[in-house]
Structure 1
Amino acid sequence: MITVENLSKTFQGDSGPVVALRDVTLDVPTGTITGVVGPTGSGKSTLARLLALQERPDSGVIRVDGYNTSGLDPRRLRAARRRIGVVRHGDLLAQRTAAGNIALPLEQAGVDGPQRREKVGRLLDLIGMTDKAAHYPEALSPGQLARVEVARALVGEPGLLLADDPTAGLDTDGAAGVLTVLDRARAELGATVLLATPDAGVVRRVADDVALLTDGQVTESGHLLSLIQDPTSAVAQALLPEVDAPKALRARHERLAEVVLVGFAAVGALLPEATSRFGTAISVVGGGMTRIGETPVARFLLGLSGAQADSALGWIAERGGKVAAHDAAPRQLVACA
């Protein structure tokens, strides 16, 4: 477990002090991918550097497995840094192959040839590039280069992997490949991953936990699937489909309700069963479906007609759906369950 407690960091800018982080508190659970999402300038890169122990905070504490890293002597600090892998962009050596770039940290550490080859081979398999081992950077696509950068960060078997905007500048396929590698690093190597990104879609794809960073402050954090079930959550607003619908379409229904459904069973079965059980006509007026990792999640604006519409909504809520009711001529959102 990595714990950040009341972390603050200020830099001296051209026109005076610039506050990068303000009193940030955050847990990064062991064996998870934690996504830190926020716009440019929100403090994501500063937080990543502090967690990599490359810089010291002005105040606050970073604890790794309960140990306060600010109290480490130089020797123990170097040892702690070796347990942290940092994905570095754009500094693969042009004169080295993909395998050679991955092997470089092992060579510098004096690891013998057979052990180096074994480790590099495992990582090439992890990133799906065994057939590209002998290719030089100029022959690789941007997505492949990014995967090699992740592999090189993993070669020391770090407990914590830091990836600061690892999908920047990549096309859809390239970004998907990098995120798959990060997910495999967590699942197969047991690495704890902290992923900083401005792209909420990246978090939706691979994160277990999430923190929203705005102007150097954490405005919301927690387990992703828990947060998205709260329609008022900033995470839900950022990651789930919008539920807007024309007024004319809304007016066709006696009742309107916003519903969040999580999981295959809920998304596939609750609405049809509620329709049958309560004799209520239920239509999807707005919203849509997405996936959080491999879990389907629906956020619908429902239109309901029938004497038992409220009972149908209550029944959906009792079975795990998150329901918020609207009037057909919309007024303020009121929590139903």
Structure 2
Amino acid sequence: MITLENLTKSFQQNKGSVRALDGVSLEIQQAAVCGVVGPAGAGKTTLLRCLGLLDRSDGGSIRMEGAELSGLDGRDLRAARRRIGVVPQGDSLLRQRTVAGNVALPLESADLSASQRRARVAELLDLVGLTDKAPVYPDQLSEGQRRRAAVAQALATRPSVLLADEPTAELDPATTDAVLTVLDRARSELGVTILVATEDTAVVRRLADDVVVLDRGNVVEQGKVLDLVSEPGSRIGSALFPAADQGRSATQPGRGHDVVAEVVLTGFAAVGALLPEASSRFDVELSILGGGMTRLGDTPVAKFSIGLSGERSESALKWMIDHDAQVHRAPARVDGVVAA
């Protein structure tokens, strides 16, 4: 587990001191993927650099697997850094080295034989799908391939934590998916705990178990992704669903319905069958007034504004709650229905 308590960090600029992190506290479970989300300047990169022991925080505590990392120096600091892999923003590969040479770079100061280094490099290139690119130089790779090679390099010393700073920035959807697949494999096959800093909620939707939303160095929201999508008013919960299709005809919630509510459904069975079964079981007319569907990791999730009409509308709503639907009454107007 990684635990941050009241982490602070300031920088001096021409206009004075700027607080990049302002009392950040969070916990990340082992082998989880945590998305660190926020606009440019929110403090995402600073948080990852402090956690990666590349920058020293001004105050607060960083603990990893029970060990305090704040304030380490010398040999202890170098040893702690080897437990943390870092994929920095942009292109970090050395142009004069081949892909294999770049991946091997962190191993050259380790007590490994040449054959052991070659075996580790081969293992990592297979993980990221670049085995055939081992003798190739970075300028001969696509941008997505360079990002995957950087992930392999960051994993070379078998770290328990991987920090990835905007690993999919400016990539097309197919290339983004390839990079996220590599990160997912690192978690599932190597048991690595991953923090991904990103402005792209699609990364959270595809990969993250947990999410932390930063704004001007402050944590404004955090929690399990599947929990936050069910919370009314959640910033990240709303952002993870596609916008309503404004091209469709708008419906005014509450007009002609006995009960109006917002319903969040999670899982294949619930998304596919819960609403029709409630309508049939209680002999009520159920109208979808707006909302959308998405997928969080491998889990389908739907958020709908619904209207119920009929004598047993309240019973139908209670039955949905009893069958694990998250239900909130009197939602704001949502126009159109979309699927993604």
Tell me the TM-score normalized by structure 1: 0.92
Q: In the alignment, what sits opposite 1:82?
A: 82
Q: Aligned ranges for residues 1-337 of structure 1 at < 5 Å? A: 1-88=1-88, 89-109=90-110, 111-242=112-243, 248=251, 250=253, 251=255, 253-326=257-330
Percentage of pairs with the same residue: 55
- Maintained 8 Å contact 1:212/1:235: yes
Tell me the TM-score normalized by structure 2: 0.92
Quick one: which amino acid aligns to residue 120 of structure 1? Answer: V
Q: In the alignment, what sits opposite 1:335?
A: none
Q: What SS does the corresponding residue of 1:70 show, helix, strand or coil? A: coil
- Return the alpha-carbon distance in structure 2 between the equivalents of residues 277 and 184 of structure 1: 43
| Mean CA deviation greater in 232-241 or 291-300 | 232-241
- Return the alpha-carbon distance in structure 1 between the equivalents of residues 319 and 242 of structure 2: 23
- In the TM superposition, residue 247 of structure 1 has moved relative to its aligned partner by 5.3
Quick one: which amino acid aligns to residue 283 of structure 1? Answer: S
- In the TM superposition, residue 69 of structure 1 has moved relative to its aligned partner by 1.4
Quick one: which amino acid aligns to residue 290 of structure 1? Answer: T
Quick one: which amino acid aligns to residue 148 of structure 2? Answer: R
| Mean CA deviation greater in 186-195 or 105-114 | 105-114
- Return the alpha-carbon distance in structure 2 between the equivalents of residues 247 and 228 of structure 1: 23
- In the TM superposition, residue 305 of structure 1 has moved relative to its aligned partner by 1.8
Q: Structure 1 residues 101 and 73, CA, compared in 2 at 3 Å: closer, same or farther?
A: closer
Q: Structure 1 residues 248 and 70, CA, compared in 2 at 3 Å: closer, same or farther?
A: closer
- Return the alpha-carbon distance in structure 2 between the equivalents of residues 39 and 244 of structure 1: 25
- Return the alpha-carbon distance in structure 2 between the equivalents of residues 58 and 107 of structure 1: 32
- Maintained 8 Å contact 1:212/1:219: yes
| Mean CA deviation greater in 148-157 or 55-64 | 55-64
- In the TM superposition, residue 125 of structure 1 has moved relative to its aligned partner by 1.0
Q: Structure 1 residues 263 and 62, CA, compared in 2 at 3 Å: closer, same or farther?
A: same
Q: Which runs of 5+ in 2 are unaligned?
A: 334-340
Q: What SS does the corresponding residue of 2:220 show, helix, strand or coil? A: strand
- Maintained 8 Å contact 2:251/2:289: no
- Return the alpha-carbon distance in structure 1 between the equivalents of residues 206 and 34 of structure 2: 12
- In the TM superposition, residue 256 of structure 1 has moved relative to its aligned partner by 2.4
Q: Across the two proteins, how many residue pairs are aligned to each other?
A: 330
- Maintained 8 Å contact 1:42/1:215: yes
Q: Structure 1 residues 12 and 71, CA, compared in 2 at 3 Å: closer, same or farther?
A: closer
Q: In the alignment, what sits opposite 1:334?
A: none
Quick one: which amino acid aligns to residue 304 of structure 1? Answer: L
Quick one: which amino acid aligns to residue 295 of structure 1? Answer: T
- Maintained 8 Å contact 1:243/1:300: no
- Maintained 8 Å contact 1:242/1:286: no
- Maintained 8 Å contact 1:241/1:299: no
Quick one: which amino acid aligns to residue 21 of structure 1? Answer: L
- In the TM superposition, residue 42 of structure 1 has moved relative to its aligned partner by 0.4
Q: What SS does the corresponding residue of 1:232 show, helix, strand or coil? A: coil
- In the TM superposition, residue 71 of structure 1 has moved relative to its aligned partner by 4.3
C-alpha RMSD over aligned residues: 2.0
Q: What SS does the corresponding residue of 2:213 show, helix, strand or coil? A: strand
- Maintained 8 Å contact 1:243/1:301: no
Q: What SS does the corresponding residue of 1:8 show, helix, strand or coil? A: strand
Q: In the alignment, what sits opposite 2:338?
A: none
- In the TM superposition, residue 167 of structure 1 has moved relative to its aligned partner by 0.6
- Return the alpha-carbon distance in structure 1 between the equivalents of residues 168 and 73 of structure 2: 35
Q: What SS does the corresponding residue of 2:108 show, helix, strand or coil? A: helix
Quick one: which amino acid aligns to residue 216 of structure 2? Answer: D
- In the TM superposition, residue 299 of structure 1 has moved relative to its aligned partner by 0.5
- In the TM superposition, residue 158 of structure 1 has moved relative to its aligned partner by 0.4
- In the TM superposition, residue 72 of structure 1 has moved relative to its aligned partner by 3.1
- Return the alpha-carbon distance in structure 2 between the equivalents of residues 235 and 322 of structure 1: 17
